[in-house]
Amino acid sequence: MLILTYEIAREDLDDRDAVELLGTLLPIFTHALDRAARFEMETRVTYISNELAAVQQKLERLDRNKSNFISVAAHELKTPLTLIEGYSAMISDMVKGETDGHVDSLLKGIHNGVERLRTIVDDMIDVSLIDNNLLSLNFQPVWLSQIFRQLGYVLNDSVTSRSQTLNIHDFPGSSEMLFADPERLYQALRNILVNAIKYTPDGGAITVDGRTLPGFLEITIEDTGIGISPDDQAVIFEKFEQLGDASLHSSGKTKFKGGGPGLGLPITRGIIEAHGGTIWVESEGSDEKRCPGSTFHVLLPIRTQPPDPKLARLLGLEVKQKEES
């Protein structure tokens, strides 16, 4: 419109009138152009917002479907697993003392396979509980030093087979009584230690330490492994996420870069957050030659009173508190 007005003014008006006309109409054209551009921008923003909302709805529906599938698949697998375990135990009792060691090794292989598959099924159920905010905790008196002492005993064979060193230090607060779910806390800390063993080369070291903070207890698990790149330090806490090429992973659970369903750390995060804590990891980066290592930080609230008043009365804590007051 501006170009057309300029051409008409040049043809039909003298220079003075043409300049006056253009000077009068130019602010109007500029305002119209600004309004048109703003309207077009608002239209594009609205369109993109609607598209993003539709995509978000699809992703949320996909995530719900995935969670539902995990839950259904896990519960459906438990029945045949129980049958296989039961029948293999019956066969073992029937042939006990009547066969050579070859049959016993086959039955042991079936038992080990069932146990490994049962662990995966249990992890799938835990993920489903965490996704649906159904994870319940059984708060009891807990001493972290005892949990780590038990973990050191359980993981000793895995550490020894890899020529690694597991150093568990007594740190401030580790011998103090806390209220937490000991089974779930054991599961969470075990997942971190197994992950450290898995991604630390043979001959490496894993160190457990910690400190007390105002209202919290910080646990650090440091390894001399291959490390984690900054881009992956948040991804590893998402379910089914694995670092590197899964086809190159070894099959052993604690072998170097051993494969797995990618549920250990997400379950750990869910358990820690259910306790009111948080977890994060620090690492310079990923390098299999230099091995910069990783340090996992677990922050747990120092809970000295059970959340259930019945448990407090059972342990005599309520009476003690009244006497002190």
Domain boundaries, the chain: 1-134, 140-311
Alpha-carbon span 68 to 237, nearest angstrom? 20
b (16+ CB within 10 A) / e for 283-300:
beebeeeebebbebebbb
**Per-residue confidence (pLDDT) for residue 128, from 0 to 100:** 81
pTM of the complete model: 0.71
Rounded to an integer, the average pLDDT of 206-225 is: 95
**Per-residue confidence (pLDDT) for residue 180, from 0 to 100:** 93
pLDDT digits (tens, 9 = 90+) for 9-67: 778 888 788 788 878 888 888 888 888 889 999 999 999 998 898 888 888 787 777 77
**Per-residue confidence (pLDDT) for residue 100, from 0 to 100:** 67
**Per-residue confidence (pLDDT) for residue 314, from 0 to 100:** 67
**Per-residue confidence (pLDDT) for residue 19, from 0 to 100:** 81
Alpha-carbon span 4 to 20, nearest angstrom? 16
**Per-residue confidence (pLDDT) for residue 322, from 0 to 100:** 43
pLDDT band at residue 112 using 50, 70 and 90 as cut-offs: confident
Structure-block tokens of residue 208: 């457990």
First to last CA, the chain: 85
Q: What is the chain's mean pLDDT, rounded?
A: 84
The sheet carrying 278-282 orders its strands as 165-168, 205-213, 216-223, 294-301, 278-282
Residue found under tokens 């109007």: 28
Residues 6+ apart with CB under 8 A from 130: 266, 267, 270, 271, 274
**Per-residue confidence (pLDDT) for residue 241, from 0 to 100:** 61
**Per-residue confidence (pLDDT) for residue 316, from 0 to 100:** 65
pLDDT at 7 over 90: no
pLDDT digits (tens, 9 = 90+) for 179-215: 999 999 999 999 999 999 999 999 999 999 999 999 9
Alpha-carbon span 98 to 95, nearest angstrom? 5
Long-range contacts of 23-28 (CB under 8 A, 24+ apart): 26/2
Q: How far is CA 32 from the centre of its chain?
A: 53
pLDDT digits (tens, 9 = 90+) for 247-304: 545 455 667 766 666 788 999 999 999 999 999 999 998 888 888 999 999 999 998 8
Rounded to an integer, the average pLDDT of 163-169 is: 94
Other beta carbons within 10 Å of 255: 16
Phi, psi dihedral angles at 160 (to 5 degrees)? -65, -40
User: What's the topology of domain 140-311?
Assistant: Heat Shock Protein 90 (3.30.565)
Residue type for position 196? A
Alpha-carbon span 217 to 195, nearest angstrom? 21
pLDDT digits (tens, 9 = 90+) for 86-98: 888 888 888 776 6
**Per-residue confidence (pLDDT) for residue 246, from 0 to 100:** 54
Find out whether 218 and 299 touch, Cβ atoms under 8 Å.
yes
**Per-residue confidence (pLDDT) for residue 171, from 0 to 100:** 93
pLDDT band at residue 312 using 50, 70 and 90 as cut-offs: low
Please state, in angstroms and as integers, the Cα–Cα distance from residue 157 to each residue in 96, 152, 169, following that order.
28, 9, 19
Higher pLDDT, 75 or 47: 47
Find out whether 177 and 140 touch, Cβ atoms under 8 Å.
no
Residue type for position 280? W
Structure-block tokens of residue 275: 């306790």
Just give the CATH number of 1-134: 1.10.287
Structure-block tokens of residue 82: 């129980």
Higher pLDDT, 308 or 26: 26
pLDDT band at residue 127 using 50, 70 and 90 as cut-offs: confident
Residues 6+ apart with CB under 8 A from 282: 233, 294, 295, 297
Alpha-carbon span 99 to 120, nearest angstrom? 32
Q: Which of 184, 177, 216, 186 is nearest to 317 (CA)?
A: 177
**Per-residue confidence (pLDDT) for residue 31, from 0 to 100:** 86
**Per-residue confidence (pLDDT) for residue 323, from 0 to 100:** 43
